A and B are shown apart, each in its own frame.
Chain A
């Protein structure tokens, strides 16, 4: 298991996490069905506007799934930032994880490690977290 992702997407996600700090940022990367290939970055609004929680607005969520279906795409990556803790899924992240096929990416924008930013990816299936390798393509 691994995630292959472009440097441009990694940079955009990190930039978004800084821009929305101290709130958590979130979004998805979409790709063609069945290819496991993250090709279209789509930042989402954190409807919770919180440093400790993120949530896609239910209306945005429905629109997202409709768009994905219409385009024969799938959600390849679901990402969000942690602002003060490491880039590891929290208990809440695990409880909510509802896309067994997605790569759950976490970035940590906590100050003590800035400007270095952790960027890590996981599968979360039936409450079990498995970290996977991230290959960044230039």
Chain B
């Protein structure tokens, strides 16, 4: 099973500037773990103390994973995962 993961500009230094990479996993947690195995260090930019970082938004297809169980979100073959930096500030 392989899914496409879209990588934002700020994380492309980890993926050798690739915009879309392949990963495997039945949950978002497993996908991130696979990404980190392929591109060491990227996991730390997505997770903090075992939870999704506040500054990062992740979507499965069109849905924000915060509504899908966050790291427990189920991933199926053919799904696409999009990672985007939040645009926010004070």
Contact = CB atoms under 8 A, between A and B. Distances in A.
Contact of A62 (B10, B82, B89): B82
Contact of A96 (B8, B59, B62, B89): B89
A59 B88 contact: no
Interface string B59-75: 10010101000000000
B1 interface: no
A100 interface: yes
Interface in A73-123: 78, 80, 89-93, 95-101
Contact of B8 (A48, A52, A92, A98): A98
Interface of A, helix, strand, loop or mixed by DSSP: mixed
Contacts of B66: 58
Contacts of B62: 62
Contacts of A56: 86-88
B85 interface: yes
A56 to B, nearest CB: 4
Nearest to B58: A58
B50 interface: no
A61 interface: yes
A78 B90 contact: no
Q: Which 6 A-B pairs have the closest CB atoms?
A: A98-B85, A92-B90, A93-B89, A55-B88, A90-B90, A56-B87
14 contacts: A48-B88, A56-B86, A58-B57, A62-B62, A62-B84, A65-B84, A89-B89, A92-B89, A93-B89, A95-B55, A96-B86, A98-B8, A98-B85, A98-B86
